[in-house]
Amino acid sequence: ERAASSHTDAAAAERNDGASIVRVARFRQDGHDYAVIRIAIVPKLPPSLTTAETEVATLVIEGLSNAAIAARRTTSVRTVANQLRSIYSKLGVGSRRQLCSRFSIQRDLGARAMHDHRGAHHLGAFASDVNYSE
């Protein structure tokens, strides 16, 4: 498999309604349109977490490393580690894995060509937000 050769060959969109995040990436390869759709249910974290802890926990659940979380939040890796210790204590979990398994519900629908009954390629309703001209 090869990646799309230019930015005109690929596009992406994200929809976040507070309860779920839907990400759609579209690319064209070998004359076929493909879509990668990722649906993540936003975890309902307990109100005992501070705003910063909720953000860190959500980013951990999304799969980001401490370094990536620190970069995104413009803070230090040590601060993220301290916030994680506090999160673990408040939620009664002992690790990232436990945090993720307790609060993460995700489904990756994978990459596949989409065809309608006439044989035309399409990407479905979620892909309608994608601006393919960028």
pLDDT tens for 22-58 read 667 777 777 777 766 666 655 667 778 898 998 899 8
Q: Give me the residue label for tokens 């649906």.
A: 39
pLDDT at 38: 65
Alpha-carbon distance 128 to 105, whole Å? 24
Distance CA(48)–CA(45), nearest Å, equals: 8
Residues of the chain with pLDDT under 50: 1-8, 106-134
CB 90 within 8 A of CB 56: no
Model-level pTM? 0.50
At residue 85, the pLDDT reads: 96
- pLDDT, residue 70, reads 96
pLDDT at site 4: 41
What CATH number belongs to 45-103? 1.10.10.10
Q: What pLDDT is attached to residue 95?
A: 93
Hunting for tokens 């894995």 — which residue is that? 97
107 forms bridges with which residues in the sheet? 39
**pLDDT value for 52:** 92
Q: Would you kindly state where each structural domain of the chain is located, as residue ranges? A: 9-43+105-125, 45-103
Task: List own/partner pairs for 91-96 with CB under 8 A and 24 or more apart.
Answer: 91/45, 91/46, 91/49, 91/57, 96/60
pLDDT of residue 31: 76
